[in-house]
Amino acid sequence: MDRVGVILCGGCGIGDAVDLDAVAAAAAAAGAAATLVHPCCCAADGLEAIRAAVAAHALDGIVVAACSERAKRQELASLGFDPAGMWRVALREHCAWSHPAGDEDTRMLAEDLVRMGLARMRGCRPIVPVAAAVSDTVLVVGGGRAGLEAARVAAGLGHPVVLVEKGEALGGRLAAQRSVVPEEPPYDRPHPNPIPGLIAEVTSCSDITVLPSTTIGAITGQPGRFAVRLDGPPATELTVGAIIQATGARPYDAHALGHLGYGASPDVITSEQLEVMLLAGAVVCPSSGAQPGRVLFIQCAGSRDDQHLRYCSSECCATTLRQAHELRAIDPKSEIVIVYRDLRAPGQLEHLFAGVQDMAGAMMARGDVDRVRVDGRLSVELSNSLLGEHAAVEADLVVLAVGMVPTAADGELIRRLHDARHQAEHAESAQARADAGRLAGELSRHQGTEILNLGYRQGPDLPALRYSFPDSHFICFPYETRRTGIYAAGTVRAPMGSAQAAEDGAGAAMKAVQCIEMAKRGEAVHPRAGDCAWPEFFLQRCTQCKRCTEECPFGTLDEDAKGTPELRELRCRRCGICMGSCPERIISFQDYSVQMVADMIKAIEVPEDLEGKPRILALMCENDAVPALDAAAANGATWNPWVRVIPIRCLGSTNVIWIAEALSRGVDGVILIGCKYGDDYQCHFIRGSELASTRLDNVGETLQRLALEPERIKLVELSHDEFDRIPLVLDEFAASLEALGPNPMKGF
Amino acid sequence: MKAGRPLLVLGAGIAGITAALEAAEAGAEVVLVEREPSIGGRVVRSRSYFPKMCPPSCGMEINIRRLEANQRVRVITSARVTAAEPTAGGWQVTLTVGPAFVNRRCTACGDCEAACVTKVLDPFNLGMKQVKAIRLPHLHAWPRRFTFDRAACPDDEARAIAAACRYGAIDLDATATTESLEVGAVVIATGWTPYPLDRLPELGGGLPDVIANVEMERLAAPDGPTAGRIVRPSDGQPPARVAFVQCAGSRDVNHLPYCSGVCCLASLKQASYVKDQLPGAEVTIYYIDRRTPGRNEDVLLQVAAMEGVRLVKGKVGRTEQRNRALALRVEDVEAGRVIDAEADLVVLATGMVPSGADDDLALFTRKDEDGFSLDDPAGRVVAAGVARRPEDVASSVRDATGAAARALAAARARP
């Protein structure tokens, strides 16, 4: 922006702490097209004064140095500037409230902060949202409970739906069930299976096209306009706006449960096999065709088990309770024994559980099953049960409550398998070929697991986090996978019961419709919902290093044959990780770029005198560290006055040139404060702080070249609620720099 | 998606915020109504979420950003529904708002608080601490505006407080206002209240060192009444032995006949708070069943493996003060044994009572026997979160996203 004005607010004690006229003079000297000091910018007359200044000086951008950008957003939004037209400097929190009033250091801090804001605004360019035709159609992959419900709800929201199902019939695993676990009152008994009604509704809906016996051949493109090739009779090509993956789970393979007698005796069956008998209305021992005198259920068959599935499959306890009710209804005489470790019937399923507890001839037995003996009458050997340390219970029919395994394919690992196979043939050294061959062997179980067949550079399916479930912020934002516009729903996403799978399908439909509507407006989806800026690539300078295409957590960038990035802008979440990764610094958003932050760093006045005041650059994540610092200030904390904070979108957007720039200008140290990383990451962009940490490892060379100590750079992981810790982090870093002595580059 | 009549979302806890945002980002007009002066309900009163042990304010930061960036959501705090009539296209609803003694001009500068001497029990901290009658509801409160417990302050003090505000944000003469709205559908996301301790005298409810799980969240929170120090309320000393009593009021026909679904994980999480802060403390969790579904099993495995943490199968039948300590009598009915134990601090894992029992909801909702709200798509009412069923945060978010879609679809459907 060419004509940037600086608005200085004197309210909330800022005017008492800082000589704003002096700050205004410093801003004018730094090139502000106009300055305005007002005692309360967020009040009606303050906003009016700003509007008048904008008009009088024909300003195309403003720096508002007042409270944190997290306060009074709606008031300042009324000025009508987009993010490329207004930058807010937290003079209140980061200066006036946290530093001594009238102090020279406080004034220098205020002047620096305002100059930095001005430098940033001058680098902004107008935002023109991406505009392109968008398809309203939602593609649902999988015709089980979650997929059917997703299709029904998306159509109910007015969107055309294409539902593809690999099998011949709809309904998924529930189709063969007599009943389901109760989903609404009364909770004390099984409920009729809703699947037939749901299938009828979906197949009769004019907005839903059902394609059975169909799989996905390929998906390319981006939200709003995915190009999909369907393999089915007949092969079809279509364009869809968003995708819901509801491919479900499969039962854990009971053949792996030899110790429980599966495969050794026909009378050891799985809960699915029992379901078939319940549906037929007769439960018998497969070996003899006779009615069983005692049916024994073994819970956690393959779940909560280090050797099998470490997680709890969530729905097996409720399924067993339901099957016990069903069994009692068709066979009043047989004894029922349920062997469990913890009976997990959460919420109002307690009523279903109570019904089994009160059932004549039914017994709940807590214990660990060691093995099932199949010589003679089946004998289930227990330990740690009420029957004693070791005991055995005989039964005629043993039902294994097997857990569930998501069908999800792990896109990143499939990609790695393909890369390893390529390397095993084409790598230059024999050693590299051997290593790649070994890796390919380890990953070979991912062969042929593709479901979505995404033509993405980072692999053909959603990346998984743990236990093969798709990676997402599964607490706060469970639908946000790492592939924009593709939402996982139902048991493919997490172990869950049928009622939850239906809700999940409805939720995914909400997200899919939302993604399409936001694509129409050219807006980013979560977490920077509504952001219309997008990254531009100055490809003439691209060296095809592939860092950006590798590092984007959302698989936004594809590659051409040479390795040049190809932007799919509506996949982009606007975190800036690509911008941070680029050694040529050719990636810029209209309102956020490497150059803008570098200019902010240049705007810090570094006293040249070696005995003078140190300067510290703090690059802070705007989602966690900056809010923590704001809260510290509101809570009355103070911190070292040499710190100059630059809020950044994500630590992953940190380009190492910023650090080199700061240190070469004599800044004494650089601290990066971002979110926690690892399996329990808190980064809203998944891997930002982790990537920043990796990049810092490579800054060592720069430091050596400058003959500087590595302790001048530090990365700290910090949570949003650590307002009490963040001032200490800054003070400790300042103290450590003081011990090191001044940056010898000062004054050069 | 065509914009029709707005969607009304009742309750701005995590379920209501989610439902409102997901609908609004899809293009719907939304009115989000909250009784308290700031949003966030129960989650902002929690120290961490299981299983990641991350702070709720982190996700709230993003949700607040989304709310402020979206012109289609209107958030009305300190408000409740006082009348509702079904119409051909949805509901005609009357909201009663305020009185707004502190208005939008408030900058949260704190000058008024400095002028205030009257203290009240802090509702954000569940009454565990005293705060000024005029204050920010909590450190991360949104809207970022002070709230004034006007009735607690003598008139002359109130006038001094109002005079201290340089921005004209305090209006001592404010009265409640009403507003009439026509909405297309309603999402009930009114959440829950903890089962009251005073109904559990046999478990020690009422004794100073017997606290509820929700109070433990505040004790461990950096912005809580003790700045995050876990101490015995009676003497302010860190406890050497902490006992968690599971199913305190839940799974009990004399109290709540259902399982509250989250208390096992909450206690495991809180056991890790204790061990992080007091590594030498002995922690015992008395349970009937350890209910940690899905990948939350990891939490059980992690906490059970901690040195000094024991999980003991048994239902606590009685808790009594014995000198400085608390004596617990634990029955393992299945094994036919009784255990006597002692602790310095007892945490009752009290369950969740749906707020659906409140009057204004009777205008809309059908409820089941346990008090949870039932869906009524034909009546254009959909329930979400714990108003609908006892569940954790992740499930509430899932549920609320789906509820938003089902409510919008109900609003589109012609009668």
Nearest to B58 among A40, A503, A719 (CB): A719
A317 to chain B: closest CA residue: B293
Cβ–Cβ under 8 Å, residues A637 and A93? no
d(CA A198, CA A144): 10
The whole-number pLDDT of residue B361 equals 66
Give the residue-averaged pLDDT of B308-335: 93
Backbone angles phi, psi at A99, to 5 degrees: -140, 155
CB contact under 8 A, B109 and A479: no
Kindly report, residue by residue over A651-708, the tens digit of the pLDDT: 999 999 999 999 999 999 999 999 999 989 999 999 999 999 999 988 877 788 778 9
Token duo for residue A563: 């390795």
Chain B environment of A627 (Cβ under 8 Å): 57, 61, 140
Residue B2 reports pLDDT greater than 70: no
Question: If we measure between CA atoms, which residue out of B374, B64, B405, B106 comes closest to residue A503?
Answer: B405
Q: Is A451 helix (H, G, I), strand (E, B) or coil?
A: coil
d(CA A99, CA A107): 10
B368 to chain A: closest CA residue: A185
Nearest to B25 among A473, A514, A720 (CB): A514
Nearest to B261 among A347, A477, A680 (CB): A347
Chain A environment of B400 (Cβ under 8 Å): 507
* Residue intervals in chain B for CATH 3.50.50.60: 7-98+176-193+353-412, 196-350
Mean pLDDT by 10 residues, chain A (748 residues): 97 97 98 98 97 98 98 96 97 98 96 98 96 95 98 98 97 93 96 97 98 97 97 93 97 96 97 96 96 97 96 97 97 95 96 96 94 95 85 96 91 92 93 95 92 96 90 92 97 95 98 98 95 96 97 96 95 97 97 98 90 92 97 97 98 96 94 94 94 90 82 96 98 96 84
Q: What percentage of chain B has pLDDT greater than the value 70?
A: 97
Token duo for residue A192: 């009729």
Kindly report, residue by residue over B37-47, the tens digit of the pLDDT: 999 999 999 99
d(CA A3, CA A5): 7
Question: If we measure between CA atoms, which residue out of A582, A729, A593 comes closest to residue A669?
Answer: A729
Regarding the domain with residue range B7-98+176-193+353-412, which homologous superfamily does it belong to in the CATH classification?
FAD/NAD(P)-binding domain (3.50.50.60)
Cβ–Cβ under 8 Å, residues A9 and A43? no
* CB-count exposure of residue A473 (10 Å: 0-12, 13-18, 19+): buried
Chain A environment of B260 (Cβ under 8 Å): 347
Chain B environment of A348 (Cβ under 8 Å): 258-259, 368, 370, 372, 389-390
Q: Is B291 helix (H, G, I), strand (E, B) or coil?
A: coil
CB contact under 8 A, A346 and B25: no
Chain A environment of B136 (Cβ under 8 Å): 634
Cβ–Cβ under 8 Å, residues A121 and A63? yes
Kindly report, residue by residue over B196-253, the tens digit of the pLDDT: 999 999 999 999 999 999 999 999 999 999 999 999 999 999 999 999 999 999 999 9
For chain B, the residue count is 415
Distance of CA A319 to the CA centre of its chain: 31
The whole-number pLDDT of residue A106 equals 97
How far off is chain B from A742, nearest CA to CA, in Å? 35
* β partners of residue B74: B31
The whole-number pLDDT of residue A384 equals 82
Distance of CA A390 to the CA centre of its chain: 46
pLDDT band per the 50, 70, 90 thresholds, residue B356: low
How far off is chain A from B6, nearest CA to CA, in Å? 14
CB contact under 8 A, A526 and B66: yes
d(CA B256, CA A748): 73
Q: What percentage of chain B has pLDDT greater than the value 90?
A: 92
Chain A environment of B23 (Cβ under 8 Å): 510
CB contact under 8 A, B59 and A43: no
pLDDT band per the 50, 70, 90 thresholds, residue B19: very high
Give the residue-averaged pLDDT of B343-348: 98
The whole-number pLDDT of residue B256 equals 96
CB contact under 8 A, A73 and B394: no
Backbone angles phi, psi at A617, to 5 degrees: -95, 130
Question: If we measure between CA atoms, which residue out of A721, A561, A187, A92 comes closest to residue B44?
Answer: A721
Q: What is the phi-psi region of residue B347: left when phi exceeds 0, alpha when psi lies from -120 to 50, beta otherwise?
A: beta
Residue B393 reports pLDDT greater than 60: yes
The whole-number pLDDT of residue A494 equals 94
Distance of CA A577 to the CA centre of its chain: 15
Q: What is the CATH number of domain B196-350?
A: 3.50.50.60
**What is the DSSP annotation of A661-697?**
HHHHTT--EEEEEE---STT---TTSSHHHHHHHHHH
Chain B environment of A724 (Cβ under 8 Å): 222, 227-228
The whole-number pLDDT of residue B360 equals 61
Domains of chain A (ranges, CATH numbers) = 1-127 (3.40.50), 138-248+449-520 (3.50.50.60), 260-404 (3.50.50.60), 417-444 (no CATH), 536-587 (3.30.70.20), 606-748 (3.40.50)
pLDDT band per the 50, 70, 90 thresholds, residue B62: very high
d(CA B369, CA A326): 24
Count H helices, E strands: chain A?
Answer: 22, 33
ipTM of the modeled complex: 0.97
Count H helices, E strands: chain B?
Answer: 9, 24
Q: What percentage of chain A has pLDDT greater than the value 90?
A: 92
d(CA B88, CA B71): 27
A-B contacts (CB, under 8 Å): 252
